[in-house]
Structure 1
Amino acid sequence: MPTLLDSAAVSHVGRVRSNNQDSGFAGEHLYLVADGMGGHAGGDVASAIATRRIAEADRPYDSVSDAEMAMQSALMAANGQLAETVFEHAELTGMGTTVSALYILGDRVAIAHIGDSRIYLMRDGELSQITVDHTFVQRLVESGRITEEEAAVHPRRSVLMRVLGDVEASPEIDTSILGTVAGDRWLICSDGLSGVVSFDEIREALAQPVTALDVADRLVKESLDGGAPDNVTVVVVDIGAEPHGEQGKRTVGSAAHPLAFDLAADEPPRRALRLPPFRLHAVPEAHFEPDVEDYLDELIEEDARRVRRRRATWIASIALIVLGIVAAVLITYGWSQSRFYVGAHGDRVAIFQGVQQDLGPISLHHVHEDTGIALSSLTDYDRQAVEATISADSLKAATAIADRLEGSSGK
């Protein structure tokens, strides 16, 4: 069964940024890259918080499906922790982070992804991009409005449509389960690599028969040689046929250092203004102007998607509640119709099916049989008993009661 052979995690601040807002983690089973945003005061905090929280999911699971669910839960928990941090530290308003993570269990890999960091798979000399960027320009590419080449130089190529942070309480996270075989080489990277180093250059580097650390170092160097306008973080994971030796857990980037933000002790928490998840690093101008109408249309569509998801959740919840109520009513009604009692119906004795109570507008009893026995023919004791109703466990028992009343009456 394939298992982990080698892994490496490397992060570099790049040639332009003054601080590293990326974080990377290579554990025993779990590997991830988080690319923070929100300016100098928030991006590093966001990626560090998310990485540390998600890294807690690096433990054994019974199945890869359990691992997938644990990763999704960890990302959602990280999102909540980021929102709470912004609530308590309003100067961090608008911070957020991408996350691309994979968990290896035998010959299966669970993936969780949000944002524009990427996961690649190198298998038999062929490189495949596994994740899909959650960006404005990717939406334009998918809708056929621009080409891949235009997306690479689009002025709004760094605008994210999905991100962990204080933007949305329940962000949509992509998860999947894939197979892996001995010889596979997985790459997780921030857009500091994929935005500078071409697809073919990444494939060439991953194809080299060297260690995971050598590959990671080479990829970071190629990004630096290309100008590295952003932080660059790379995690490489090699799959082999034999178990690997103990390598320990490695954290790189901002998550490897103490959180660098402060709040005066006497300053009360403030609800922060929620802003769209813009990356704040500079984007060079391209040979064409941005289509503002397309940009606004995509933002509106993304907001509409969120509204539809919430509406669908509410509708499903209401439907479940209604179904539960209907089921309870049907069960109660079914049980009531297995009961019988003898009572007065006008001036005669009748056998009733059901119980004497009503369920709102629904009557839980009806006349099953009019015995024809006049109440006036009964003794005072029996008449009072009938008027107060006489319960019976079955129709047979109710019939026996009616027969006894008829035998003791003056009819």
Structure 2
Amino acid sequence: MAPANRAVAVSHVGKIRSNNQDSAYAGHDLFVVADGMGGHAGGDVASAIAVNRIREADKEYATAAEAEFALQAALIAANSLLTETVFEHPELTGMGTTVSAMVRVGDQIALAHIGDSRIYRFRDGELKQVSIDHTFVQRLVDSGRITEEEAMVHPRRSVLMRVLGDVDASPEIDTWILDTQPGDRWLICSDGLSGVVKHDDMQSALASHESPKAVADRLLKQSLDAGAPDNVTIVILDIADTGRVDTLKDPVTVGSASAPLAFTTDVKPVRANRLPTLRLHPVRPATGPTHFEPQSEDYLDELIEEDERRARRRRLTWLIGVIVLVVAIVLAALFGYQWTQSHYYVGASPSGKVAVYQGVQQSLGPIALSHVYEESTTDVSSLPAYDKQLVEQTINADTLTSARQIVEQLTDASKQ
């Protein structure tokens, strides 16, 4: 790829997945990332169909509004193709794909988005996410139920509420227009990057003055170094001027859309009289794991209720844990104190008498672990020099009886 290119598209299968279900396209004016789902037999097909259809919108537009409308129409058309493909090949039931796309028109960008792939804008040293994730946890964040930090580790963080696929004939697609300016750097990526590489690390990489290709390779390496549990797809566009100049000498397609679309089925296509618009739920399970769930209010309520139950269980677990810890500390303190009170020694009392002490000669902060148990009438000052030194330094005794015998011996010595 020539150094003059101001855009790039790269895709990698990652370290865990067996196939690449992502697709992406970087053209003259159009830039797209799609993250497919539906298991081995469906995710790659879904993203490839979507990108192959949407890239037909890579044209010159008179206005950003015209480009926005064309993008929305392209995504709706891609959704219809996915529905028709499932109709012809029932084994692909449940497949779907996210799509994040943008078209540059002069000093503006028209955007279209559905799912949890992301669109970022890097400007003046700050990286900002301009798309909104259509996920269950994002709903929880927006409603104030959880924080952004909690969303990163939430067990339902991969549940999508909106995608292109055979689940909705009229999916709700976010479209909008933003201004851009020379020096801006735009990033579109699948969650294989945004879900693994930290925001600050992405910002640091995009702040580099390196070419889009070098930056994309750096971001890809960071994801791979972090384990890359999912496919990683990155599209970067640099804005150098406000005029229309081809950002790529040749459009680039990567991921599953870069290979010929080929899939077979042992199931004979069935053409029944049915209305695809009524197929809001798959009639049979997907052939592999999927992270899409239907966007119905009943289902959302069930997820929220489930999350609240999980939160209550988590709080109860923490409470029980804290109680157990406190009880353990209290019991340890009690047993420890009882152990110290089974010891005795002989020393000088505050009044200068020879005394038997119960406990040990240590303290925990301001708390002394010993006290005067018995005080004799013998003055420490009346003892011979050697015995006086021993008492002042304290004399350990195995039992209370032994301590009393030591006091008697010292008393006798003081009278001699």
Report the TM-score, using the length of structure 1 for normalisation: 0.66
* Contact preservation (8 Å) 1:89, 1:269: no
8 Å contact from structure 1 (residues 24, 235) kept in 2: yes
1:117, 1:133 within 8 Å by CA — same for their partners in 2? yes
Which moves more between the two structures, 269-278 or 151-160? 269-278
The Cα of 1:264 is off from its aligned counterpart by 4.5
The answer for unaligned runs of 5 or more in structure 2 is 292-298, 308-416
Query: Match for residue 99 of structure 1?
Result: 99
**Separation in 1 of the partners of 2:303 and 2:237?**
36
Largest Rg, 1 or 2: 2
Is 2:282 the partner of 1:275? yes
Amino acid at match of 1:260: A
Shift of 1:297: 5.9
Q: Does 1:118 align with 2:127?
A: no
Counterpart contact for 2:27–2:248, Cα < 8 Å: no
Q: Which residue of 2 aligns with 1:128?
A: 128
Which digits, 9 at most, give the CA deviation of each residue in 1:219-247, with x for residues without a partner?
Answer: 11111001000000000000002745652
Q: Secondary structure at the match of 1:101?
A: strand
The one-letter code of the counterpart of 1:45 is V
- Aligned AA for 2:249? Q
Partner of 2:265: 263
Amino acid at match of 1:119: I
How far did residue 296 of structure 1 move?
5.5
- Report the residue type matching 1:96 in the other structure: G
The residue correspondences of 1:288-327 to structure 2 (distance < 5 A) are: 295=303
1:2-401 equivalence runs, <5 A: 6-241=6-241, 243=245, 246-264=248-266, 266-269=268-271, 274-275=281-282, 280=289, 295=303
SS of 1:83's equivalent in the other structure is helix
The one-letter code matched in structure 1 to 2:254 is V
Question: How many corresponding residue pairs?
Answer: 288
CA distance in 2, matches of 1:15, 1:116: 21
C-alpha spacing 1:266/1:7, structure 2 compared with 1 (3 Å): same
Equivalents in 2 of 1:64, 1:248: separation in Å? 23
**Residues 343-381 of structure 1, C-alpha deviations (whole Å, 9 max, x = no match):** xxxxxxxxxxxxxxxxxxxxxxxxxxxxxxxxxxxxxxx
Matching residue of 2:326: none
User: Separation in 1 of the partners of 2:190 and 2:172?
Assistant: 19
Secondary structure, in 3 states, of the residue corresponding to 1:186?
Answer: strand
Distance 1:154 1:76 in 2: 31
Q: Distance in 2 between matches of 1:269 and 1:203?
A: 50
Whole-angstrom distance in 2 between the partners of 1:28 and 1:238: 12
- CA deviation after TM superposition for structure 1 residue 261, in Å: 1.3
| Aligned-residue offset at 1:268 | 3.2
Task: Give, in whole Å, the separation in 2 of the partners of 1:239 and 1:6.
Answer: 8
Which amino acid in structure 1 is aligned with residue 253 of structure 2? T
Q: Could you tell which deviates more after superposition, 150-159 or 255-264?
A: 255-264
The alpha carbon displacement at 1:82 in A equals 0.3
Partners of 1:121 and 1:238 lie apart in 2 by 10
Looking at structure 1, the residues matched to 122 and 56 of structure 2 have their Cα atoms a distance apart, in angstroms, of 27
Contact 2:90 2:269 (C-alpha < 8 Å) held by counterparts: no
Tell me which moved more, 175-184 or 234-243. Answer: 234-243
Residues 245-283 of structure 1 show CA distances to partners (whole Å, capped at 9, x for unaligned) of: 65211000000012231135854347797339999369x
Q: Is the Cα contact below 8 Å between 2:12 and 2:20 reproduced in 1?
A: yes
CA distance in 1, matches of 2:86, 2:306: 26
Residue deviations 1:299-356, cap 9 Å, x none?
Answer: 9xxxxxxxxxxxxxxxxxxxxxxxxxxxxxxxxxxxxxxxxxxxxxxxxxxxxxxxxx
Letter in 1 for 2:270: P
TM-score, structure 2 length as denominator? 0.65
Aligned residue type for 1:295: L
Q: For 2:172 and 2:261, how far apart are their aligned partners in 1?
A: 27
2:359 maps to: none
Question: What amino acid maps onto 1:16 in structure 2?
Answer: I
Cα offset, 1:202, TM superposition: 0.5
Judge conservation of contact 2:96–2:165 (CA < 8 Å) in 1.
Answer: yes
Given that 1:139 and 1:298 are in contact with CA atoms closer than 8 Å, whether structure 2 keeps it comes out as no
Distance in 1 (alpha carbons) for counterparts of 2:195 and 2:289: 15
Give the aligned residue type for 1:255.
Answer: A
Judged with a 3 Å threshold, the aligned counterparts in structure 2 of structure 1 residues 240 and 16 are, in CA distance, closer, same or farther, namely: same
- In the alignment, is the contact (CA less than 8 A) between 1:90 and 1:269 conserved in 2? no
Structure 2 residue aligned with 1:338? none
Residue 86 (structure 1) shift = 0.5
Q: Which residue identity does 1:236 align to in structure 2? A: I
Amino acid at match of 1:87: F
Counterpart of 2:10 in 1: which secondary structure? Answer: strand
Q: Which amino acid aligns with 1:37?
A: M
Question: Could you list the per-position Cα deviations for residues 107-136 of structure 1 after superposition, in whole angstroms to 9, with x for gaps in the alignment?
Answer: 000000000000000001011000000000
- Judging changes above 3 Å, is the alpha-carbon distance between structure 1 residues 240 and 76 closer, same or farther for their aligned structure 2 residues? same
CA distance in 2, matches of 1:80, 1:293: 29
- Taking the aligned partners of 1:70 and 1:297, their CA distance within structure 2 comes to 39
- 8 Å Cα contact 2:13-2:20 kept in structure 1: yes
**Secondary structure of the residue that 2:239 maps to in structure 1?**
strand
- Say if 1:173 and 1:142 are closer, same or farther in 2 by CA, change over 3 A: same
Shift of 1:188: 0.1
Cα deviation, 1:72-115, whole Å, max 9, x if unaligned, reads 00000000110010011000000000000010011000000000
In 2, the alpha carbon distance for the partners of 1:115 and 1:245 equals 26
Runs of 4+ in 1 over 6 A off after TM superposition: 270-273, 276-279
Query: Does the C-alpha gap of structure 1 residues 236 and 298 become closer, same or farther in structure 2, counting only changes over 3 Å?
Result: farther
